[in-house]
């Protein structure tokens, strides 16, 4: 039997928590439809509503504001629309601003016309300049309708955290709507809906140890809501039709509860592991580039480039050593290509970067194994360079 593999790709998906698995198995035995009023239906509804409270607690929100979806992508497609309701009145938005380094699902603009979507640049550290956002919002023609700003709180590739307090102030100053994607931040940062100043949050189950295929759009107010993406039977108070999936939702809720209870320990432990990983890489390869190292970042994420080595080459080399890392995002059907995140930051997008993301199951031994593999891989780079300079070829 081969050696046990090491998983350092928690930003792609986190291992399913035992608590989530247990909640899902219990919900699988429920017969009723959550919309049915008989005993069986009420039992299924109770599971859904418990999870709604658990997810709301994770972000310091109200359970009434949680709309369950099939995942974060659906939540994005739901909220990125120019068509809203303010109470019973129609509200038409005039423009969408997204971060140039953000996830492709945000960059696509959802249901906005492409001509209505504008990308906000980031600096060398991957952060948005709030003053530039303020200028962009000031230049927006309010007669066309309020503007929406949608940003990732923490980038999925680099882990870089945006200055959301200043962003929220700018958005509110200009009467806009703020949507914050907390997919990567959830479970890795203490979150507070009101403190973020957001009107809507986007959340995914499988990034926090819940099952794949579940997510949520979390609304700060019952008054302001997007036009439904999926009309039909009127489930989720009419905001997302289709019979709810109690097993997936139950697992999502259990994972959210665990994330809430363990957040301080998770932050401390993953920071320790990431810092040791990066210190080891710098010692073995002084010219390694750790992107966003001087900016606020998630405690579990390291995104790096090695001069002279393409990201996919590094990823394959680590995989052959039994270590799972990503060459950028894992959200594009497994394709590896130029990193739009690095391009937005002004780096070589063709060379790309490698993301190592640790989690609650990562051990010190895992970091030791990563560094041993990194040293071996870097040694091959040195040998190739020596051969190119006329030295001894690699045997």
Residue 126's pLDDT is 95
From 150, 219, 258, 331, the catalytic residue: 331
How far apart CA 326 and CA 303 sit, in angstroms, is 9
DSSP β-bridge partners for residue 37: none
How far apart CA 58 and CA 67 sit, in angstroms, is 14
Active site residue 331: yes
The three-state secondary structure class of 369 is: helix
pTM for the model stands at: 0.93
Residue 337's pLDDT is 62
Residue 3's pLDDT is 75
Residue 350's pLDDT is 78
Below-70 pLDDT ranges, the chain: 1-2, 328-337, 382-395
Going from the N-terminus, what domains does the chain have, and what CATH number goes with each? Answer: 6-14+263-388 (3.90.1150.10), 18-258 (3.40.640.10)
Residue 328's pLDDT is 60
Residue 2's pLDDT is 58
Residues contacting 135, CB < 8 A, separation 6+: none
DSSP string, 127-161: -B-HHHHHHHHHHS-GGG--EEEEEESB-TTT-BB
How far apart CA 280 and CA 272 sit, in angstroms, is 12
Residue 392's pLDDT is 32
């Amino acid at each position: 039997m081969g050696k046990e593999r090491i998983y350092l790709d928690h930003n792609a998906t986190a291992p399913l928590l035992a608590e989530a698995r247990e909640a899902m198995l219990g919900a699988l035995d429920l017969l009723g439809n959550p919309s049915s009023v008989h005993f069986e239906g009420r039992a299924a509804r109770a599971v859904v509503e418990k999870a709604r409270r658990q997810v709301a607690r994770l972000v310091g929100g109200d359970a009434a504001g949680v709309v369950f979806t099939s995942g974060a992508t659906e939540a994005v497609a739901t909220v990125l629309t120019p068509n809203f309701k303010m109470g019973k009145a129609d509200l038409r938005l005039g423009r969408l601003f997204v971060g140039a380094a953000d996830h492709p699902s945000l960059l696509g603009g959802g249901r906005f016309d492409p001509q209505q979507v504008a990308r906000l640049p980031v600096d060398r550290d991957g952060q948005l300049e709030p003053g530039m956002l303020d200028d962009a919002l000031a230049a927006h023609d309010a007669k066309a309708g309020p503007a929406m700003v949608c940003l990732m709180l923490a980038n999925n590739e680099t882990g870089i955290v945006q200055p959301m307090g200043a962003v929220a102030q700018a958005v509110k100053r200009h009467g806009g709507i703020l949507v914050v994607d907390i997919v990567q931040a959830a479970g890795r940062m203490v979150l507070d809906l009101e403190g973020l100043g957001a009107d809507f949050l986007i959340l995914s189950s499988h990034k926090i140890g819940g099952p794949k295929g579940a997510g949520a759009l979390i609304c700060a107010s019952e008054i302001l809501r997007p036009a439904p993406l999926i009309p039909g039977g009127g489930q989720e108070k009419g905001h997302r039709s289709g019979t709810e999936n109690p097993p997936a939702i139950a697992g999502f809720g259990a994972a959210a509860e665990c994330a809430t209870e363990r957040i301080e320990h998770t932050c401390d432990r993953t920071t320790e592991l990431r810092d040791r990983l990066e210190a080891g890489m710098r010692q073995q390869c002084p010219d390694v580039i750790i992107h966003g190292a001087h900016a606020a970042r998630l405690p579990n994420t390291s995104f790096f480039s090695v001069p002279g080595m393409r990201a996919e080459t590094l990823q394959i080399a680590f995989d052959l050593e039994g270590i799972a890392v990503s060459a950028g995002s894992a959200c594009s059907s497994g394709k590896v290509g130029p990193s739009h995140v690095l391009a937005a930051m002004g780096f070589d997008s063709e060379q790309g970067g490698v993301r190592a993301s640790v989690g609650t199951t990562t051990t010190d031994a895992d970091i030791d194994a990563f560094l041993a593999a990194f040293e071996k891989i870097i040694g091959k780079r040195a040998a190739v360079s020596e051969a190119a300079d006329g030295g001894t070829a690699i045997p």
